[in-house]
Structure 1
Amino acid sequence: MRMKRSSSPENRKVKSCAIALRDATIQPMRILVTGSSGTIGTRLCEALLGQGHDVIGVDWQHNKWHKNIDDLTIHSDLKLDETFKKIPTDVEAVIHLAANARVYDLVEQPDRAQDNVTTLFNTLEFARRNKIPRFLFTSSRETYGNIDATACTEDMVRIENCESAYTASKIAGEAFVEAYRRCYGLGTVTFRFSNVYGMYDDSDRVVPLFIRRAKKHEPLTVFGEKKCLDFTYIDDTVRGVCLALEKFETVQGGTYNIAYGEGTSLVHLAKTLKELLSSRSEIVIAESRTGEVVQYVADTKKAREKLGYSPQIPFEEGIKKSVEWYGQYGAV
């Protein structure tokens, strides 16, 4: 089903792959990236370094994929005040990616949602105290909840549609960011990402999980036969962030859907991976899990008009790239 648009570092010797970004007109700056060892953080740091920026990462985990990114990362917990004493105060932009991001994990362990709010608050305070002019926050399509809409525009978030503790942490995060913008004059941009997939992910998110299981011919369990989500290739996500950074003066104060803008059912995902991997895996349909959004497609008009954002990698191409990348690096 498709919907039309509307612990020490384990250096896996991954060869950096350039992201096809247009020539940036922004002057290089010193940028703090929280969550720099994660999937998006790793790819974003690659892009920022490629543009000539001075990048400082913060993550409590080591980077499994890139020793050079691990070397520029401060390994410390953003919940702790002492962490912020280790960070240079002359950074010119903060990109806050750090979060506990597995929705169902936070259904079972809701205290981890509180961690999301605490780490964001601490990072906002760091930016406020040090008069950092740019703060970019990454929220989620989960903030929309289960609503009856062909494509979700940025003004459709409602508290009454909050489905999980994870969702609550992101809605609260957006509120904090807006409060710091209004109350303290902090320059902010908020993104709502959607099912980012691609490289640098060996977690239990659905794409790497299905690839891993399909390779072993193990069952692929789809939680919700009609579940349809907006899968966004990681390079398109990173492009959106870089565009906002480049155009910050004109786009600050805004919230932007960064997604492909097309829905793909989880059943279609499973069938596609079976075909690409010549897998004998059985597709098992189970009930949707508590707290998870059943259907989401982003309306990306605002990002297109304000940021100049135009996603380049459709699902069929992106999933093939993902299979090839995982096959090359044995990541799953």
Structure 2
Amino acid sequence: MRIVVTGGAGFIGSCFVREVLGGEHPELAGAQVTVLDAFTYAGRIENLAPVADDPRLTVERGDVRDPRRVAEVLDGGADLLVHFAAETHVDRSITGAADFVTTNVVGTQVLLQAALDAGAGRFVHVSTDEVYGSIASGSWPETHPLEPNSPYSAAKAGSDLLARSYHRTHGLDVVVTRCSNNYGPYQFPEKVVPLFTTRLLDGGTVPLYGDGLNVRDWLHVSDHCRGITLAATTGRAGEVYNIGGGTELTNLDLTRALLAAVGVGEDRIERVADRKGHDRRYSVDWSKIRDELGYAPRVPFEEGLAATVAWYRDHRSWWA
């Protein structure tokens, strides 16, 4: 089996690659893995260092927006294409949306067309719960209308719809996954958990938006990758699967957990003006992937967060 992983040097993509090559997903045992990554600021070759010498790994530099480069990579065939590559940081999308539209929408269309032209197998499109918008109570099923509120989530929603269209129009074997907030090692320090952790380890303060009561569901990156593998190997073509972590916290509660993990007090919190269009609450209903594919998160949040903080403490050279 040959697996092509776009964005395979990023946070979640590199975790998937390391775990596949490390034998943590028996369904994909023995696979040859080709990483296609543009190596922007968040995609780093260091993220693949633990598997760099594995003969089953091939790393290709290229942009998903480049049809010629994508066609070259897929020319060797692909039994499975897992599409992680995306611009993902909401704050960056607010200050400049162009790269989000071209990478997330146009790049996905280029990949879908190239996969169709190359006769590739299953195409797993990795998306986000943010495409649903904001929900005051309850949880979103996969059938909920898409109501994105940031340029980032709007671009991801557009890519989701393109993926669906290639299945319905062309019969391409597409599966879409939508995850809640990820955390874990190797996450670039612009997202809240590594940003706050590294600032606290350096003796600084952490910027908490607004009243701190925005709610997110937290999912360890390893649990997310296991959900993706289940969707890739046993999911139904044309379906969407939400992948949740089962731990809903306000941003204030998350901040307090990080303060405790580092061993400092609330005097390290710096209140800042709220982000534009800040969604109040995300919550996905992941009963579909649980009931159909047997998914359940395995990493308890307290243990996962403690291990994540310890990783950043022990790998200062990676982020300093």
Report the TM-score, using the length of structure 2 for normalisation. Answer: 0.89
* Residue number among 4, 14, 34 corresponding to 2:6 in the alignment: 34
1:261 is matched with 246
8 A Cα contact 1:60 1:75, kept in partner: yes
1:45–1:69 contact (8 Å) kept in structure 2: no
Deviates more, 1:221-230 or 1:79-88: 79-88
1:261, 1:298 within 8 Å by CA — same for their partners in 2? no
The separation in 1 between residues aligned to 2:200 and 2:78, in whole angstroms, is 44
**Secondary structure of 1:58's match?**
strand
Residue 179 of structure 2 corresponds to 193
The answer to whether the 8 Å contact 2:90/2:152 transfers is yes
RCO (CA 8 Å, sep 6+): is it higher in 1 or 2? 1
Question: How much identity, in percent, do the aligned residues show?
Answer: 29
CA separation in 1, counterparts of 2:90 and 2:296? 27
- Candidates 169, 176, 188, aligned match of 2:155: 169
Contact 2:9 2:45 in 1 (8 A): yes
Matched, 1:65 2:65: no
8 Å contact from structure 1 (residues 288, 294) kept in 2: no
Change (3 A) 1:78 1:155: same
Name the stretch that deviates more: 84-93 or 109-118.
Answer: 84-93
Deviations 1:197-223 (A, max 9, x none): 101123310000000111123221111
Give, in whole Å, the separation in 2 of the partners of 1:141 and 1:176: 17
**Structure 2: which amino acid aligns with 1:274?**
L
Q: Match of 1:140?
A: 128
SS in 2 for 1:183: helix
The CA deviation at 1:321 is 1.2
Where structure 1 has 5 or more consecutive residues not aligned to the other structure, the ranges are 1-28
- Equivalent residues in 2 for 1:1-332, closer than 5 Å: 29-49=1-21, 50=23, 51-61=29-39, 62-67=44-49, 68-69=51-52, 72-89=58-75, 90-115=77-102, 116-158=104-146, 161-224=147-210, 225-248=212-235, 251-280=236-265, 281-330=267-316, 331-332=318-319
How far did residue 155 of structure 1 move? Answer: 1.7
> Per the alignment, in what secondary structure is the counterpart of residue 294 of structure 1?
coil
Q: How many Å separate the matches in 1 of 2:243 and 2:271?
A: 29
Aligned residues: 300
Contact 2:74–2:114 (CA under 8 A) maintained in structure 1: no
The SS at the match of 1:64 is helix
CA distance in 1, matches of 2:310, 2:141: 33
Q: Deviations over 1:282-316 (max 9, x none)?
A: 21333431133221122110110112111011321
Task: Indicate the SS of the match to 1:150.
Answer: coil
Given that 1:221 and 1:286 are in contact with CA atoms closer than 8 Å, whether structure 2 keeps it comes out as yes
Q: Could you tell which deviates more after superposition, 106-115 or 80-89?
A: 80-89
1:273 Cα deviation (Å)? 1.2
Shift in Å, 1:149: 2.8
Could you say what secondary structure the match of 2:152 adopts? helix
Q: Which runs of 5+ in 2 are unaligned?
A: 24-28
Deviation for aligned residue 1:88 = 3.8
What SS class does the counterpart of residue 240 from structure 1 fall into? helix
Q: Which amino acid aligns with 1:292?
A: H
> Hey, which of these two has a bigger chunk of helix by percent?
2
Query: What SS does structure 2 have at the residue aligned with 1:154?
Result: coil
TM-score calculated relative to the size of structure 1: 0.86
